[in-house]
Structure 1
Amino acid sequence: MHVENMNGLELMQAVVCGALPHPNMADTIPMKFISADKGVVVFEAIADDRHTNPLGGVHGGFAATVMDSVTGCAVHTMLDAGVGYGTIDLNVKMLKAIPKNMPMIAEGKVISMSKSLGVSEGKLVDKNGKVYAYASATCMILLPKKS
């Protein structure tokens, strides 16, 4: 099956199982797709020395990027083949300093879908479920152009 013929859930599940390569952003911000179901995605993310700010802590952009990814991918699981999306609003709350070299779990979940907008939320937690970042996002649904 070609990517252009896959709906959003099929595409995300193909990345999870390795039938499709992970996005290049997952090399820059190490993220591994763990699971994808309708309206929900789970990633593993690990910050390292490449993601530090001048003070040596993990830059807030790490959490923001992970949150943008899981909230957007959750919306993507709800889309038909050929339909795209773009984040138009991302609100991230950084609740705790992100540790380096520690696997974190990021989960994105759709909370509302319409023909034009998808609204989702995400959280970044440690193995014990402690929340390090929380986000809400709004995505514009991009319908294919009619010929």
Structure 2
Amino acid sequence: MSGAPVSALERSGTGLEYLQKVLSGEHGNVPIGDTVGFRMKEVSKGRIVFEGMPGANVLNLIGTVHGGYAATILDSALALSILSTLDADSNFTTLEIKVNYVRSITPGMTVRATGEIVHAGRRVATSEAKLTDAEGKLLAHGTTTCLILPRERP
């Protein structure tokens, strides 16, 4: 059984400690993951993996999975790989994201998004992520830049 979702803004501890609680089920899944169909499978400092199986709810009018699905799972992998490097006093916000589509995604296909930190600076961090199918074929890839901010506490 999984716990209720807890916002990263309300977290205690480091970003990695928070994400480990999500992975263990102590905190609920990433809410958008429940909506479109993906879950965290691995996390370590600077690296995160999500797996999903898109369903009919994310199809476009030509019968393939909407590009927004790939962008969404990649965005989570990109941003949360950065969160995994932050200390308890830091937060972040996305400045930009870029996604490149390589192959179409079909409903029921198992996909895996792996995000890894490229640069973790004091004020800016960048990461890259790849979305692959069950055989490891590249479906899409992306990059992000995030601004690191001091964490405001209630």
Residues paired across the two proteins, number? 146
Are 1:60 and 2:67 counterparts? yes
C-alpha displacement at 1:131, in angstroms? 0.5
**Pairwise CA distance, 1:145:** 4.5
Q: Deviations over 1:1-52 (max 9, x none)?
A: x953220001111111111111211111211110100000001021111101
Match of 2:3 in 1: none
Summarize the Cα distance change of 1:21–1:145 in structure 2 as closer, same or farther, 3 Å threshold: closer
Q: Work out whether 1:32 is the aligned partner of 2:39.
A: yes
> How high is the TM-score relative to the length of structure 1?
0.93
Q: CA deviation at 1:62?
A: 0.5
Residue from 16, 20, 23 that aligns with 2:23:
16
Percent identity for Structure 1 against Structure 2: 31
1:110 aligns with 2:117: yes
Does residue 1:129 correspond to 2:136, yes or no? yes
Identify the match of residue 13 of structure 2 among 6, 19, 33: 6
Report if aligned partners of 1:106, 1:125 keep a CA contact under 8 Å in 2. yes
Separation in structure 2 between the aligned mates of residue 47 and residue 25 of structure 1, nearest angstrom:
12
Contact 2:11 2:18 in 1 (8 A): no
**Could you tell me which residue of structure 2 aligns to residue 85 of structure 1?**
92
Matched, 1:98 2:105: yes
Tell me, which stretches of 5 or more residues in structure 1 are unaligned? none
Tell me how large the CA RMSD over aligned residues is: 1.8
Contact kept? 1:82, 1:143, Cα under 8 Å: yes
- Give 1:79 shift: 0.4
Q: Residue 113 of structure 2 contacts residue 132 of structure 2 at CA under 8 Å; is this kept in 1?
A: yes
Partner Cα distance (1:94, 1:118) in 2 = 23
